[in-house]
Amino acid sequence: MRRSLPVLGGLLAASLGAPAAAAQTAAAAEADDAVRIESLTPGFRFDYDLATGTASLTNGVRVTYRDTVLTAERVQVDPVTRDVAAEGDVRLERGTQRWAGDRLRYNFTTGAAAAENFTLGSGVIFLRARDLVSTNLPGSTNVSYILRDAFVTTDDVAEPGYRVRARSMMLTGTRVTAEDATVMLGEVPVFWWPRWSKDFRRHEWFNVHYPGYRSRFGAYLLNSLFFPAGPRAQGSVSLDGYADRGVGFGAGLTYDLEPCGAGAARGYYLYDGNPPEDPATGETVAADRFRVRFEHAVTLRTNFTAKVAVRHAGDRYVERDFFESEYRENVQPRTFVEAQQAWRNLTLNVLAAPRLNDFFETVERLPDVRLRAHRLRLGQSPLYYESAQSVACLRRRFAYDVEPEYEAFRADTLQQVLLPHTLFGWLNVTPRAGGRFTYYGETDGRDLDDQTRWVFNTGAEVSAKASRTWAGAESRFWDVQGLRHILEPSLNYAYTPEPDARPLELPQFDRLLPTLRPLPVLFPDYHAIDSVDAQNVLRFGLRNLLQTRRAAGLADLVDWALLMDWRLDPGRGQDDLGDLYSELDFQPRDWLLVTSEVRLDPNRSALRETDTRLTLLPGELWSLGVGHRFLETSDLTGLGNNLVTTRLTWKLSENWALRVSHALELRDGTLEEQYYTVYRDLRSFTGALTLRWRADRGNQPDDFTIGASISLKAFPLFRPGTDAERPERLIGG
């Protein structure tokens, strides 16, 4: 039988012998500071010393104070000072700290301690010592611990495979400082320091190596050394060898200099012995291949941020060949300097964006200043006002200068008034009217004089929201405990008469670009300033949300949104009805998720695009992801997709796991990509062997890669799940 006794600071005698009412009053007043004692065995024994005010307890005891829990065979507690002396199989948990040993004296309030034959775990580090005593360093508010005949390791086992052993150590927070320190592999000493110090919040000195073979590189070995470059900075150097391509050199620096901001600088150079052919020009890329990157961001004061990014490369394929993960995230990185100040109703943005890489088409902004007034009420009237202004010096430059560049000064202003109100208590109606004026200076590089454009726009938005609840609805199959249905229909009407200057009469800087998603029909969300043209359109929207209660709280069972345009006055090349867009998230179980994006052309009853994914995460043993991506073949480019992807992760045992992924193009039955990764748990490390095969649709042979990686568990190379989303990182990409 487990018994529990509240011990309230300084009032233990009262809680034991005073009237019940007094004990309850004390408990209510000091509940937050209560020291609670529980018996863990039927033979629990309790003694209270009236002279010293201490309580002695034996035969299995748990003592709890706030977030600290101590268990032992025998304890002696002073409820006033909150000192505890424990003996016999002592265990203590406080935050991320885990203590275990024979004897421990501990203060619940200050953390002061003295221990014998103890193991201490704190985050990713583990220490063992013959004796331990706390101390307060001058000028420090944190408790430090001095350990004698001790060792530290990140190997969380009884007999660690590696450790740093020392006669004396000090633990302050997550930093360990040792005197006369020896690195041990098993029982073999391999290195000695007279004084050694390390902060285990970050891995200060470490190496990263990726050995492997790629058919386009030959055998390769990627090597990086990371080292501290100051109290808040980390440097790195790399030396990469490719049997068929050459030797690459790199250096980098990441830093956090708050309040002056944080950033990174990186550079890389390789003399390529077998450079690829540029398909855009048909010429061989220059053998001198390099890239330089610099990013910095700073918050100068509240709501005032500044960013700078410099991305320069010797050719457009150097990142594709040697930095695949970064290339997949952004195939055309920009160089820019930007500052933004936000107020309650205003946002001012200043952007300067030059072009450093002549193999990219871009619009230089030198500079582009924008001021946006967010929707705000005009005094006590029912009217609301919003606006957007910009002033820019713009230059459009083409890749490889295949066309002459042109530039112009542009000033643009949009002013709009809205009148939102609610009818019948449930119908939201917001009519709007506005005007846009744009001035273009003389266009250098085109035969265009300075000119102006006036645009009028009007319209209205109508929306409603309705819901209904079925509290008694239950289904074990669908994991439903009550249902709530939320319905949100909307209708948006946008009318813009033909402007006095059509897009073909204006220099095109911010223009319409091909996209698979619906474009905005409202100002100021419509950003293609130079492509503004006549429109008369109704946009229909409908959102269905079905919610239920589950163990984790409120969950969305179904989230389904529909969108379609009805063009009352279609433009050139447009049909009366725009594409129907559907986005669906369906989660019948916490471990099962189905997502779907569909684009349908109702005029031809043709399916233009689908992207469907099913993810199963039933437990720790395995997970499965299946996806299908269909994109209608374009008559203009001849490009399209009918792609099936699969990803299976399977934990074979405690030490082995397997991940397999495929990408199959159904149009011609080509298995475009295959990944096979075998994971091995090496106790303190995780090893991975990855094989990748990619089919080449050009004139090159298929691309085959096999690579290995190893990661220390305490300081993993990747955040959890990153290697699955970006498997190329496992082979150094």
| Domain spans in the chain, listed from the N-terminal domain onward | 1-79+105-111, 112-201, 204-333, 617-733
Q: For residues 662 and 625, what is the distance between their CA atoms, to the nearest angstrom?
A: 11
CA 302, 303, 306, 311 torsion-angle sign: positive
Q: For residues 694 and 216, what is the distance between their CA atoms, to the nearest angstrom?
A: 11
Q: Fill in the DSSP letter of residue 653.
A: S
Which two three-digit tokens encode residue 527?
């950003």
Confidence at residue 17, expressed as pLDDT on a 0 to 100 scale? 33
Amino acid at site 250: G
Residue with tokens 């606006």: 387
Contacts of 664 (CB under 8 A, 6+ apart): 643, 644, 645, 670, 671, 672
Q: For residues 71 and 59, what is the distance between their CA atoms, to the nearest angstrom?
A: 11
Q: For residues 733 and 726, what is the distance between their CA atoms, to the nearest angstrom?
A: 9
**Residue 313 burial (CB < 10 Å; 0-12/13-18/19+)?**
buried
3-state helix, strand, coil in the chain (%, to 5): 5, 60, 30
Which two three-digit tokens encode residue 176?
């360990």
Confidence at residue 3, expressed as pLDDT on a 0 to 100 scale? 42
Which two three-digit tokens encode residue 120?
């201490």
Q: For residues 100 and 112, what is the distance between their CA atoms, to the nearest angstrom?
A: 16
Residue 7: CB atoms within 10 Å: 22
**Closest residue by Cα to residue 677 from 658, 661, 693, 663:** 658
Residue 453: CB atoms within 10 Å: 20
Residue with tokens 């700078």: 308
Helix (H, G, I), strand (E, B) or coil at 261: coil
**Closest residue by Cα to residue 455 from 528, 391, 346:** 528
Helix (H, G, I), strand (E, B) or coil at 729: helix
* DSSP bridge partners of 566: 538, 577
Half-sphere exposure of 439 (CA within 13 A, CB side): 9
Q: For residues 172 and 179, what is the distance between their CA atoms, to the nearest angstrom?
A: 15
Confidence at residue 2, expressed as pLDDT on a 0 to 100 scale? 41
* DSSP bridge partners of 715: 712
Residue 601 in contact with residue 573, Cβ under 8 Å?
Answer: no
Residue with tokens 């055309």: 332
Cα distances (Å, whole numbers) of residue 700 to 253, 276, 468, 538, 666: 37, 10, 60, 49, 21
**Closest residue by Cα to residue 311 from 264, 370, 343, 243:** 264
522-555 per-residue burial string, b: 16 or more CB within 10 A, e: under 16: ebbebebbbbbeebbbbbebebebbbbeeeeeeb
Which two three-digit tokens encode residue 29?
């007043």
Confidence at residue 369, expressed as pLDDT on a 0 to 100 scale? 97
Please give the radius of gyration of the chain, using alpha carbons only, rounded to the nearest integer.
34
Q: For residues 101 and 717, what is the distance between their CA atoms, to the nearest angstrom?
A: 33
pTM confidence score: 0.78
Helix (H) or strand (E) holding 65: strand 61-65
CA dihedral 139, 142, 146, 150 (to 10 degrees): -140
Which two three-digit tokens encode residue 58?
């034996």
By DSSP bridging, strand 406-418 and strand 384-397 are antiparallel
Q: For residues 318 and 269, what is the distance between their CA atoms, to the nearest angstrom?
A: 10
Confidence at residue 335, expressed as pLDDT on a 0 to 100 scale? 95
Residue 251: CB atoms within 10 Å: 13
Which two three-digit tokens encode residue 274?
């077998």
Q: For residues 640 and 517, what is the distance between their CA atoms, to the nearest angstrom?
A: 16
Helix (H, G, I), strand (E, B) or coil at 77: strand
Residue with tokens 């050719």: 315
Residue with tokens 């995230």: 329
Amino acid at site 465: K
Helix (H, G, I), strand (E, B) or coil at 33: helix
Contacts of 330 (CB under 8 A, 6+ apart): none
Q: For residues 152 and 169, what is the distance between their CA atoms, to the nearest angstrom?
A: 9
Q: For residues 169 and 197, what is the distance between their CA atoms, to the nearest angstrom?
A: 9
Contacts of 435 (CB under 8 A, 6+ apart): 414, 415, 416, 454, 455, 456, 457
Q: For residues 633 and 113, what is the distance between their CA atoms, to the nearest angstrom?
A: 71
Residues in the chain: 733
Residue 531 in contact with residue 503, Cβ under 8 Å?
Answer: yes
Confidence at residue 21, expressed as pLDDT on a 0 to 100 scale? 36
Cα distance between the two ends of the chain: 60
Residue 250 in contact with residue 268, Cβ under 8 Å?
Answer: yes
Mean pLDDT by 10 residues, the chain (733 residues): 39 32 41 73 74 78 86 85 87 84 86 85 81 73 82 80 86 83 87 83 79 93 90 92 94 92 95 87 90 95 94 92 89 94 94 94 95 93 95 94 92 96 93 96 91 95 95 88 95 95 92 86 90 94 94 90 94 89 94 95 92 91 94 79 94 91 92 93 84 87 90 70 78 83
Q: Fill in the DSSP letter of residue 730.
A: G
